[in-house]
Amino acid sequence: MPQKRPLGGIKTHGEWLLAGKQLAKPDEYTVFEPQYVFLPMLQHIGAPCEPIVEVGQSVKLGQPVGDTEEKVAAPVHASVSGTVKSVEEWPRVGGGKAITVMIQNDHRYSVWEEQGHGELPSASVKDRLAAIRKAGIVGMGGATFPTALKLDRGEKEIEVCILNGAECEPGLSADNALMIQQTQKIVRGLRYIMEICSAARGLIGIEEDKPRAIEKMRRACEDEAGIEVETLPSIYPQGGEKQLIYALTGREVPTNGGLPADVGVVVANVGTAFSVAGALAHGSALVNRVCTVSGDVLHPQNLQFPIGTLVGDLIEHCGGFKGAPSKVIVGGPMMGRTIDSLQVPMEKGANGILVYAQEHDHLYAESPCIRCNRCLEACPMRLEPWAIDRAYRKQKWATCRWLQAESCINCGCCTYVCPATRRLAEKIVEAKNELARQRKEAE
Amino acid sequence: MAEFRMDKNESAEVFEKNKESRFPALQASPHLRRGSGTRAIMGNVLLALLPATLGSVWFFGPAVLPYYLVAVFFALAADALAQFLRKRRVDTFDLSPVVTGVLLAMSMPLGTPLWFAALGPALGILVAKELFGGIGYNFLNPALLGRAVLRLAFPQQMSMNPAPSPPFGLGQSVDAVASATPLITLKEGGTLSAADLLDSFLGMAAGKIGETSALLLLLGAVWLLAKGIIRLRIPLAFLAGIALMAFVFGGNEGLFGAGWQTVLGHLLGGATMLGAFFMVTDYGSSPSAPLAQILFGALCGVVTMLFRLYSPFPEGFTFAVLIVNFSVPLLNRVIRPRVLGEKNRSLLS
Ligand code: SF4
Ligand code: SF4
């Protein structure tokens, strides 16, 4: 049982929240093979990579196509084998553009020779971290922070490594499917992560609405010393890093830029652990991931796809739109980003596609805050969203700072519950960015 | 809507077209709302007031109805006037003026001139609410302000307490002269019998139109709690403040001399129940951090008792809460919840 009841948040079952958005087969995923992949040189938090292939060159699966010397970065690999058709600026999810390598798939999936070096059984921590970096692994829950850096504990003691098996957002089931289909590899990935951090304990936190995943994981962990599977209540945002740590260990990651490592914890998404297992056991690079395509498409399902597949291709594969589409989101309903073109690629951190048809999409007008306190009760960080919103709109930065606006994790719970349908999360994120900017300026 | 499958180009085209027409800009997350509006909340408050409202017709007869109608009408008119003056659109009608109107009608004694019922809500809404920037920005409770103004301007009429005469006012004739409410009895050094207390609980004691029946008000409170519209924190702190003060200072023979009848009399009498669940819980005029809410509730209770025990107003709830209301902006400024991961919270900004 978890140690602490989660603070705030929204119960995900029983809520009308996801009515009709559940998949028919949330425990499975199928494989999709696109004609083209578009690989942005920036799919992680940090510095962009430089393309290291040329137009017309043929590339193998797993061959690096972009890399950099910068510390905070992760290389990008060809996710199919084929021919490089172009290297040019291309739109990304969330607006903005990045240099993107476009590869035409030859459907042979011939693997890059230099890749498979087999297992690294006795490798040192340093070698393993290097292998993880070389494989281009980033946080696959959506945070996309380079995993090699995250696992590099430096001087800090890590006691617990936590695997995040609480789906990042309501309505997604990609992690669930991965846990059921790739149980062994995920546990192995966790073992590697524990070894790298020299942590004695491993915890896998899974929400209670995924009984099959819990059962399979439990069975796989029976003979694993030090690894336990914990059932978590189905409350969004249970998959938030700070929320997960609090629920499982009762520890609180310090505010003002504290890291999980400060309280002796490292958290990784199950997808990340899966990729780590692939990288360290087989030397394979991060080229595929699983996502949930749901909402108003004809056949909602979980799909494994080569990274860089276009959103439009995945929707097309799911039978196309059902009803006239009005909004397409990459990610989930609470934190996902709308896109204004179907020709944007799915990156390493893209865990879902959600389509709203016109009849399911509403525009919400803001009305005055009535100080009902619902936002405060829903906030998993225990902030006072209404007060930050008010202070931000009056540009009272000192008040925003006192109210800890910078601790907001942008989960969207406050906006979701507000009866006045105020765009709280949006404003608080703006306040947060402004405060961060001011802090940088002052330094 | 029929399901249809489009080929890739076609679906992309529809998407592009739609984007142009409805969503030219990228939207911020989240993309879902629970969608219960302000109006639904206020509607539920009205529903919760319904038992006591209907009860007042039973106790005092149809003569109370004009008070409700006039109060609600003028509350709405004042709200519309304010919206008009601020050039806001009136179509965001949220039922909150109706709540103010009903609460004010409930706190008038039967037999006062009807125009009191017009003046109270109008003043409450214009002064307490709109002058400070409208709903959510008011730190004074509009219903209480209207009530306080009436009390100060017309002390004689407003402190009448007719005795109920059920059914429908046809029982004993309504005695328009001030009869002894439980609180007045206590004030004059009397004691309450168990029968008096039962009267208070059921609503048979003398008092204002909608305040007499603790039972019916509690029914409404249960509804509000079940719907998650109010939390127990403020009412409990308030009632605890009242009970404690009544116990310590309420007795006739020095400190800690109060009997349980006195304590219960204070809890059931006057505006205590209406106040606990419908007035001190008012969103705008109460603070938001849990600790601040407890402080606020307790303070309301304590100051109410100070008025009851040591001032010439045995029903000093109105003034007490208005005074404590002034501390709300301060409480909100200095107390906030401890953020997850925060070590020592700085109390003062
Ligand atoms: S939920 Fe909305 S209306 Fe309620 S306090 Fe928060 S911002 Fe105000
Ligand atoms: S978006 Fe920020 S302020 Fe709103 S509930 Fe989430 S953490 Fe709290």
Q: What is the pLDDT of residues B261-298, one digit of tens each?
A: 889 999 998 889 999 999 999 999 999 999 999 999 99
The per-residue pLDDT for B74 is 95
Mean per-residue pLDDT for B160-181?
69
Contact A387, B332 (CB under 8 A): yes
Give the pLDDT confidence score for residue A2 in this predicted structure.
Answer: 60
Q: Which two tokens stand for residue A204?
A: 């896998």
Beta strands in A270-368 (DSSP E): 288-295, 301-306, 325-330, 337-338, 352-357
pLDDT at A382: 93
Under the banding of pLDDT at 50, 70 and 90, the label for residue B246 is: very high
Between B42-46, B68-72, B83-87, the lowest mean confidence (pLDDT) is in B83-87
> What per-residue confidence (pLDDT) applies to B349?
38
Looking at the CA of residue A375, tell me the nearest atom of ligand 2.
Answer: 5
Q: At what angle do helices B214-226 and B38-60 cross, to 10 degrees?
A: 160
Q: Give the 3-state DSSP-derived string for A357-415, with helices as H, strands as E and coil as C.
A: EHHHCCCCCCCCCCCCCHHHHHCCCCCCHHHHHHHHHCCCHHHHHHCCHHHCCCCCHHH
Would you state the pLDDT for residue A20? 47
Residue A390 alpha carbon to ligand 2 centre in Å: 14
Q: Is the pLDDT of residue B23 over 50?
A: no
Q: Do B27 and A327 touch (CB under 8 A)?
A: yes
B168 pLDDT more than 50? yes
Atom number in ligand 2 closest to CA A379: 5
- In degrees and rounded to multiples of 5, residue B278 shows phi and psi of -120, -15
Q: Does residue B234 surpass a pLDDT of 50?
A: yes
Q: Which of A366, A369, A415 gets mutated to test ligand 1 (max ligand atoms within 8 A of its CB)?
A: A369
Alpha-carbon gap, residue A381 to B324, rounded angstroms? 29
Which of A298-307, A356-365, B171-180, B185-194 tops mean pLDDT? Answer: A298-307
What pLDDT, on a 0 to 100 scale, did the predictor assign at position B348?
42
Q: Is A297 in the pocket of ligand 2 (CB under 6 A)?
A: no
Q: Which residue has the higher pLDDT, B141 or B179?
A: B141
d(CA B321, CA B275) in angstroms, rounded, equals 9
Question: For residue B7, what pLDDT is reported?
Answer: 47
Which pLDDT score, from 0 to 100, does residue A110 have? Answer: 85
Residue B1 has pLDDT above 70, yes or no: no
Sign of the CA dihedral with B5 first, then B11, B14, and B15 last: positive
Q: List pLDDT tens digits, range A241-277.
A: 999 999 999 999 998 888 999 999 999 999 999 999 9
Q: Is the dihedral of CA A124, A129, A130, A135 positive or negative?
A: positive
The residue that leads in pLDDT, B13 or B266, is B266
Which whole number is the average pLDDT over B207-222?
A: 93
* Confidence label for B20 from pLDDT (cuts 50, 70 and 90): low
Name residues 124-183 of chain B within 8 A of A (Cβ).
134-137
Q: For ligand 2, is residue A237 a contact (CB within 6 Å)? A: no
Residues 387-426 of A with CB under 8 A from B: 387, 398-399, 402-404, 407, 410, 412-413, 415-421, 423, 425-426
**Sign for the pseudo-dihedral over CA of B303, B306, B311, B314:** positive
A265: β partners: A160
CA angle A242, A244, A245 (to 5 degrees): 65
What's the pLDDT at A360?
A: 76
Q: Specify the pTM.
A: 0.90
d(CA B82, CA A117): 76
Angle between helix axes B38-60 and B96-106 (nearest 10 degrees) is 20
Q: Residue B257: is its pLDDT beyond 90?
A: no
The segments of chain A whose pLDDT lies below 50 read: 16, 18-20
B 61-120 near A (Cβ less than 8 A): 92, 94, 96
- The bound ligand whose nearest atom lies closest to the alpha carbon of A423 is 1
